[in-house]
Amino acid sequence: MGKLTGFLEFVRTTNPMRPEEERVKDWEEVYVLRDEQTCQEQGARCMDCGVPFCHRGEMMEGGASGCPINNLIPEWNDLIYRNRWREALDRLHHTNNFPEVTGRVCPAPCEAGCVLSINEPAVTIHDNERTIIDKGFENGWVVPEPPEVRTDKKVAVVGSGPAGLACAQQLNRAGHTVTLFERADRIGGLMMYGIPNMKLDKGVMQRRIDIIEAEGVIYKTNTEVGKDIKADELKAGFDAVVLANGATKPRDLFVEGRGLKGIHFAMEYLHANTKSLLDSNLEDGSFINAKGKKVVVIGGGDTGTDCVGTALRHGCEKVTQLEILPKPEADRNRVSNPWPQWPANLKTDYGQQEAIKLQGKDPRNFSVMTQKFEGDADGNVVAMHTVEVEWVRNETGGMVPKAVPGTEQRVEVDLVLLAMGFLGPEDILGEQFGLERDARTNFKAEHEIYTTNVAGVFAAGDNRRGQSLVVWAINEGRGAAREVDKYLMGDTVLP
């Protein structure tokens, strides 16, 4: 695929980032696109590798390898190289409902599985994807595609994140009447309120939401299933129900002083900021402002990075990020972590890059555990007490953190953001629908089947598999749509 000798002729060139000192002054996207010639050259780097691991989408050693939605990567890389952008867009849309999202926020497990990455930097699959879809919108090629024929079936989809929105679009394409319920005031779920604007511009998200609505999906916002409308009403009013409400129960930190003012869950912080930004450009003050504050983010994943970047844009005095796990190696360990596994080496994302530029050092501190919070007379958090840890095996063979004596510290802080992941779906839907749960409290349903113990009720996305990537959510939303169509019609034309 691509130019046969392209991987020998061209070096990897990714989409450039705006300078840190410029981008922290606004909420515009961090990345900008490469020029078209460079994009074609990057498409040419795709090898004629025989067995393309990039689009196989499997879990290996706890991480994804290859694209979970099985994007036809070699095909559209070849079409980019040949300047056949419209055809590349068609191939991209064949497997992906939101390439403008995955081309911006996906960590690119496809690149981890790229055969070229065995001994050279991988093909820029992630950036190629974004280039295709952005060019498609720029040229007016992305338009609503309503179904030609409608069935008499009605489906309710609960949750408008990547799983719910993908499921709704696919079922609508099959001709069913789909109503999408969202408890927030805007459609999009975590794509709208969980991912900040500098990583995924909400105008980009809204244009796709508008297209899906124009295709016939009915949106019901400000409607929380379980409260505003009960489970029995949905089961009585629809032929099938798909629960795609995510894993939104945050992991908490049960230490002394947790109840002090100024300690918030990360999603509380990020959601309020984006809503205020969209509603009033932050002029309404309806958000948690980090301006002038000493901020500590507890948690080292993508959400933690987004909190760091948001705090810097607020104008915080200082931001520190704490991670209880050890610092990863700088480079992939090719013995314990070989290709095509997800590379478990240290990654410095946009938020850390900005903190390094502004503060002069990496904000991350590894192998650190919080012991307690300290407050003032008014109940505001003013400090936290931490200790370094080492990871040792317990009596059952598991790895646990052990405090290292003499490493205790008192850290002054005005705002603490808990970004330690999620524990599963909230309880109200599971209780009202009478759903069985698995050992991790997720809704019990098998991947690629999605049926729950309740007839006509399906579960897909993070509420079934646990907190995961946007691409896995799209995978599950599309898969659930296929199974619902089969349940309603006896067969299906959906992929």
| Per-residue pLDDT reduced to its tens digit, 81-136 | 999 999 999 999 999 999 999 999 999 999 999 999 999 999 999 999 999 999 99
- Whether residue 1 has pLDDT greater than 70: no
Kindly state the tokens that stand for 495.
Answer: 């992929």
pLDDT tens per residue across span 35-45: 999 999 999 99
* Mean pLDDT across 423-442: 95
The class that CATH gives domain 6-138 is: mainly alpha
The two tokens of residue 354 are 């900005």
Is CATH 3.50.50.60 the right assignment for the domain spanning 263-418? yes
Question: How many percent of the chain have pLDDT more than 90?
Answer: 94
**Residue range 134-183, pLDDT digits in tens:** 999 999 999 999 999 999 999 999 999 999 999 999 999 999 999 999 99
Which residue in 260, 118, 101 sits closest to 169, CA to CA? Answer: 101
The token pair that represents 350 in the structure block: 């946009």
Cis ω before 328 (30° cut-off from 0): no
Per the CB < 8 A criterion, the answer to whether 421 and 413 are in contact is no
Domains 154-248+424-489 and 263-418 in one fold: yes
Q: Which CATH class is domain 154-248+424-489?
A: alpha beta
- Give me the phi and psi of 146, to 5 degrees please: -65, 155
Helix locations, 140-230, DSSP H:
162-173, 202-214
pLDDT at 2 over 80: no
Per-residue model confidence (pLDDT) at position 20: 98
Amino acid letter for position 489 = M
The span from the CA of 422 to the CA of 249, in Å, is 5
- Other beta carbons within 10 angstroms of residue 402's beta carbon come to 13
Q: What are phi and psi of 211, to 5 degrees?
A: -65, -45
Instruction: Tell me the domain boundaries of the chain.
Output: 6-138, 154-248+424-489, 263-418
Q: What pLDDT, on the 0 to 100 scale, is given for residue 42?
A: 96
